[in-house]
Structure 1
Amino acid sequence: MISSLRTCLLVMMVSTLFVTGCAQSGKVSDDMKDHIETELGAVEKVTVMSTDGQEVLLDSRLFLQELSRQGQDLQISSEPLKQADVRFTLVLYRTQQAPLVVTVGESASEFGGNTYRGAGASYFYQWVNKLTGKGVLSQKIQSVRLAAEDLGQARVLNESEAEYIRKVMGSAVPELDSRSKQYPLYPNYRMRINSADKPVEVAILTPTLIAVPFGRETFFFHVEGSLFSRLTEWMPPSNRKEDRFDPLFKSTQIRITANGAMNVQDTELDVTQTTIEQGIAHQSVRLLKNGDPLNVPPKNPGSKQYELHFFVNDTVQRIELYPRYFKYDQTWYIHDELAENEWKLFQSLRK
């Protein structure tokens, strides 16, 4: 049972004025009610800070309006919230007073030197997470820098193009499915949206799904499919001369052949199934492109780990993977841990 004045401050933050247990008698005194109402009325703005220093302004009216639904099923815990488990920090700025600060994790929050756990703490995290996602894309867009990572191209959008991005971002809908397995499709479009605050990075994962990293959090949004079409007009993939790896982005199937020393299983990836399989295939090619070509073959490459086979049109491109190297099209490349990373990538589809 919550019984101290200090913990009543948490109740002020995350519960109604009548949360059972705020006062020792089980009721909140009239003086305490007045005090809490006064404190809430002094809030000027509410922000959330990410673990990497980004700060997003929340809708204070909506925050205070929905605050009354919070605070149920909270217990003081002797187990502190570990720094590695912190997702973000909630800050309430008050008139002529020090701000109120709550450190938020997925299953616990810290406030006033105490750690709170329970179902209410998890629900509180989800609630603040939802509000933060809305706040991230609500910032006023000043300019937009578009990049296509797989093409090695980037430019600042003109004002009419930026205005289109404002409209798309303004109508973006939060995606409840985290899609953690979704890697960006070729050509890996990304936008840096500049506002009065810290720039917001936006990854275009699929024609209808974008991701916005926020410290240890990542927010996903559903957007109009026309966005991807516009991006291909503004930065066409066809404008770039292909290197020897680029044709692999067009693979319709990838096969892992377990014919080496590494403990892997024969695996096939049908790239035509969904955007998830397609994203994994494109990410696999990106890993290969990170290798550095060697002018002279290695004297001791070690044991072959396994092979990757990319099916492109009517041809099969074979890649041999070794502990620190790989061989493709008669050329050797150095790339530490490529065999492990490629296998982990394909295994992610099974999780």
Structure 2
Amino acid sequence: MKMIKSEVPSNCPKGVVASVSAKVGDVMQANVPGELPRGERQVINTKRTLKFSSDDGMDELYSVMQQAKANNSYVRDIKTSPDPAIVIASDGQLDDLVRFCAPLAGVESCAMTVGPTFNLGEFECTPTTYRHLMVQTRRYKTYPVFVGPILIHYRKNFSTFLHFSSALVALRKDLQYLRVFGSDGEKALINAFMHEFRFAIHLHCSIHARNNIKKNLRERRLPELVVNEITDEIFGKQVGSSYVEGLVDAESEEIFYKQLEERKVQWDRIEKENPGCVSGFYEWFNEHKCEEIVSGMLSPVREDAGLGVPPSAFTTNVSESITAMLKRKVNYKKSELVAFIQHLKELIDEQQRELERAVIRRGKYEFREEYKFLEVDEAT
């Protein structure tokens, strides 16, 4: 009987890794580690770089540079090498970031959120968001979420994100006093922003952190009931009208570690009671999650960031809503670079027009009571 061999397409990332590994004899015959591909992500990044280095890629970048030179005031900064990056921002967005995210002491402020989006084109897109504190939605009386400056890039590394944060400060020097920024935990982004925004508090998204811990617990083959029990012990839970505090609600770093040590016996016992599971959750949590929680999620950190007393949890839901808005704008299809920048310009303009409608008491926003003096009669 003839065997049918299932092959991985040689042009896909997995196929390229397999092909290159086979040519050098894989792990046992490679002379140095550099001969072996690190993984599929390396192949994807290399393909992006090669695509951008091609004539078409350079033509796209050249077109953007010509746009910026001619009439597109939204293209504020272009980095060409080694990793191309483009900063998109209007004067209004930059002024709002200063006004609402880096105000004078004692003035109401909000957090700037930042996080990469996916599947918008053959590039990465990292928008910032903020809440406009002068207006509220007519329906829910909440501060609306606005898209802020946006980075278009091809690598998610420290130098690319540092270019973005330093470009923002170069465009508005007062942004060096940014009070709070939040993210979903992208390490390179956090390190770059903390380097540039030295006075800022960084907040970790509790939803991403919770999901990451749940993923690890499930991979240890623990029952779902146990997974939920442990994550609730870490992040707290709502029971009817009452809130049961978790480790993240500890009032100090010392109390957090004391409470964590008390959990060790319980978590070790749970692992012993489930013989099919992979043990070691406490050690993993201690090594990979403690610093993240202490620096960006603990109760005093959230209080200092202005999330109330007791503080509410921080999430990047506002970034998710902007991502959804961007995807709708491009009709859920990947765009070419020049076309995508045009879509961003249209989105920023629409956002500004909706704000301007509030001046004549129209549209979905209205000025808060202390800013009502900015309204004028429609005829005027």
Fold match (TM-score > 0.5): no
TM-score (normalised: structure 2): 0.25
Greater fraction of residues in strand:
1
Greater fraction of residues in helix:
2
